[in-house]
Chains A and B, each alone.
Chain A
Amino acid sequence: QKEVEQDPGPLSVPEGAIVSLNCTYSNSAFQYFMWYRQYSRKGPELLMYTYSSGNKEDGRFTAQVDKSSKYISLFIRDSQPSDSATYLCAMSEESGGSYIPTFGRGTSLIVHP
């Protein structure tokens, strides 16, 4: 079962806060873990992806994967009102499996000034 669970929120934080967004999954074959940002009525925009376990940092964003717990996180430091959007996690398998990403429902983030 390729289920990906994500709390839809909304998550409301003040500007400057550290935001933690999370997803859990059940399919141990997932190896690629992606985070997309989606503004209202727009297409998902790839933010970051990681392969297997570990951390990856890009500016104010840090993606973390814990495969033993089947849990992934996206941290946003010094959050800005422009970060207000829906954040989608997505996952896919490696060679020999399905490359097609399975998405979570998305978490709505509101950063208020």
Chain B
Amino acid sequence: EPEVTQTPSHQVTQMGQEVILRCVPISNHLYFYWYRQILGQKVEFLVSFYNNEISEKSEIFDDQFSVERPDGSNFTLKIRSTKLEDSAMYFCASSERGGDFSHEQYFGPGTRLTVT
């Protein structure tokens, strides 16, 4: 069964460093998402992406975050200057359709980001 994959599974970085989290969405999906989950807290939406553009973003997704689809398969989340509070599990998700079908999202296993 097709699945969303993410690398690395765990990333440790120092405060102020840049990190890039990578995702390979399901191959026929066209809509891509990033979420984060701070330990013990809710899954929070960061950004959605379609047709090489950001469709929607939350207040969390400020200027230190960016997303890119550098080729036909990868979808990346970059954090330019990490802060301690960026430590969280970051999930990538994808869906075949958007709009009224955006709820049919499939999540990857996550990248655990630890900022020291």
Contact = CB atoms under 8 A, between A and B. Distances in A.
A101 B103 contact: yes
A43 B42 contact: no
B107 A44 contact: yes
B104 A42 contact: no
Nearest to B9: A41
A94 interface: yes
A18 interface: no
Nearest to A31: B100
B44 to A, nearest CB: 8
Contact of A44 (B45, B91, B98): B91
B116 to A, nearest CB: 19
Nearest to B41: A105
Contact of A45 (B43, B48, B98, B107): B107
B14 interface: no
Interface residues of B, number: 26
B22 interface: no
A55 B92 CA distance: 29
Contacts of B99: 95, 99
Contact of A88 (B43, B45, B108): B43
B43 A42 contact: no
B115 interface: no
Nearest to B45: A100
B103 A103 contact: no
Contact of B43 (A46, A94, A103): A103
A110 B14 CA distance: 36
Interface of B: 4, 33, 41-45, 48, 56, 58, 89, 91, 93, 98-100, 102-110, 112
